[in-house]
């Protein structure tokens, strides 16, 4: 089945952007009904984060998220097999002046287009990142090959933060996505849209240890096709020395961007899986 999916993605990547987007949206509409577990997770997340919205508004947002998520997945074929020139056209970078050289952590929240930005940055910079191991070994191998095809380093999260620190010290641009629930280890509970969320303190720790600048980067999927990756000015007074305050600052930034394009954030993820001791589980 995995090989069939890859074969279809390879065929689709030759199509114009508009046709790929339409296919991705169609797959997303279908998967909304075929994957009840993730549909349930998405609905719970949206209910927790947007209680002020009506049921109909949240349901429309959930459907829109599945369409955006699956479109991004389908369009990964372009990142895996298209030539350099097409990827340069696919992803427009804004704010590259904020990558001033020196040690840099690119803080990239989990919006659906983050893979496109990773591929685009790798064309011009030595990029490194950690990743979560995948249950499907064929998918993991394909993901690894796609992410490193233009150079750079990708290592499993089990390798730990020390590996990332060494890569930053070697001059790599560290593409870091710490905004999901990675369990209670090295995490603090801070509000995310008013709901306590286990949040790793790695961003502050790595920045403090290496002296690297933290440059936020958010990817927006465009309706007509393609992506815009916006790099923001490096954060000043970060880290502050207060892990809770730093984690909250990180999530506050994510909240602001989510409100700009709520359908493009990773709502399928069990963001509130880890709960404070004694609190009832959500999922």
**How confident is the model over 2-29, as pLDDT tens digits?**
889 899 999 999 999 999 999 999 999 9
Structural domain includes residue 280: no
Structural domain includes residue 274: no
Nearest-angstrom CA–CA distance, 147 and 155: 11
186: domain CATH number is 3.40.1130
Structural domain includes residue 113: yes
DSSP for residue 176: E
- Res 160 pLDDT > 80: no
Kindly report the length of the chain. Answer: 283
Which pLDDT band, with edges at 50, 70 and 90, does 162 fall under?
confident
CA-nearest of 132, 131, 124 to 173 is 124
Owning domain of residue 222:
2-264
| Token code pair at residue 272 | 């509130």
- Res 151 pLDDT > 80: yes
The 10s digit of each residue's pLDDT in 254-265 is 999 999 999 999
- Res 68 pLDDT > 90: yes
Cβ–Cβ under 8 Å, residues 227 and 112: no
Beta bridge partners of 105: 174, 214
Token pair 């993730």 is found at 38
Nearest-angstrom CA–CA distance, 256 and 184: 25
pLDDT the model gives residue 156: 87
CA-nearest of 71, 66, 57 to 15 is 71
Structural domain includes residue 272: no
Structural domain includes residue 71: yes
Residue 230 is inside which H or E element, if any? strand 227-231
Cβ–Cβ under 8 Å, residues 64 and 90: no
Nearest-angstrom CA–CA distance, 275 and 282: 9
Q: Specify the number of domains making up the chain.
A: 1
Which pLDDT band, with edges at 50, 70 and 90, does 282 fall under?
very high
Which pLDDT band, with edges at 50, 70 and 90, does 100 fall under?
confident
pLDDT the model gives residue 117: 97
| Token code pair at residue 6 | 């890859």
The 10s digit of each residue's pLDDT in 203-256 is 999 999 999 999 999 999 999 899 999 999 999 999 999 999 999 999 999 999
Structural domain includes residue 271: no
pLDDT the model gives residue 259: 98
Structural domain includes residue 101: yes
- The set of residues, in sequence order, having a beta carbon less than 8 Å from that of 97 and lying 6+ positions away, is none
Cβ–Cβ under 8 Å, residues 77 and 9: yes
CA-nearest of 111, 71, 116, 72 to 90 is 116
- Quick check: pTM over 0.75? yes
Query: What ranges make up the beta strands (E) of 132-186?
Result: 153-156, 173-176
| Token code pair at residue 135 | 């249950």
Q: What is the average pLDDT score of the chain? A: 95
- Res 129 pLDDT > 80: yes
Which pLDDT band, with edges at 50, 70 and 90, does 137 fall under?
confident
Structural domain includes residue 223: yes
Cβ–Cβ under 8 Å, residues 90 and 227: yes
């Amino acid at each position: 089945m995995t090989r069939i999916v890859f074969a279809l993605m390879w065929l689709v990547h030759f199509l114009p952007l508009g046709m790929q987007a339409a296919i991705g949206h169609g797959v997303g509409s279908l998967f909304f009904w075929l994957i009840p577990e993730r549909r349930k997770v998405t609905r719970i997340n949206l209910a927790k984060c947007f209680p002020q919205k009506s049921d109909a508004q949240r349901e429309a947002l959930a459907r829109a998220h599945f369409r955006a998520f699956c479109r991004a997945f389908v369009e990964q074929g372009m990142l895996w097999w298209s030539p350099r020139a097409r990827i340069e056209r696919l992803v427009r970078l804004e704010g590259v002046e904020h990558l001033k050289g020196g040690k840099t952590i690119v803080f990239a929240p989990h919006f659906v287009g983050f893979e496109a930005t990773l591929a685009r940055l790798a064309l011009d910079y030595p990029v490194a990142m950690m990743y979560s191991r995948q249950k499907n070994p064929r998918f993991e191998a394909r993901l690894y090959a796609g992410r490193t095809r233009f150079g750079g380093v990708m290592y499993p999260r089990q390798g730990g933060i020390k590996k990332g620190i060494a890569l930053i010290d070697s001059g790599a641009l560290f593409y870091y996505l710490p905004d999901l629930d990675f369990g209670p280890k090295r995490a603090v509970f801070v509000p995310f849209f008013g709901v306590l969320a286990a949040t790793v303190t790695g961003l502050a720790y790595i920045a403090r240890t290496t002296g690297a600048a933290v440059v936020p980067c958010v990817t927006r999927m465009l309706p007509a096709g393609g992506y815009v990756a916006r790099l923001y000015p490096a954060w000043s007074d970060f880290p502050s020395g207060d892990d809770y305050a730093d984690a909250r600052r990180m999530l506050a930034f994510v909240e602001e961007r989510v409100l700009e394009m709520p359908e493009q954030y990773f709502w399928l993820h069990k963001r509130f899986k880890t709960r404070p001791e004694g609190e009832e589980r959500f999922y």
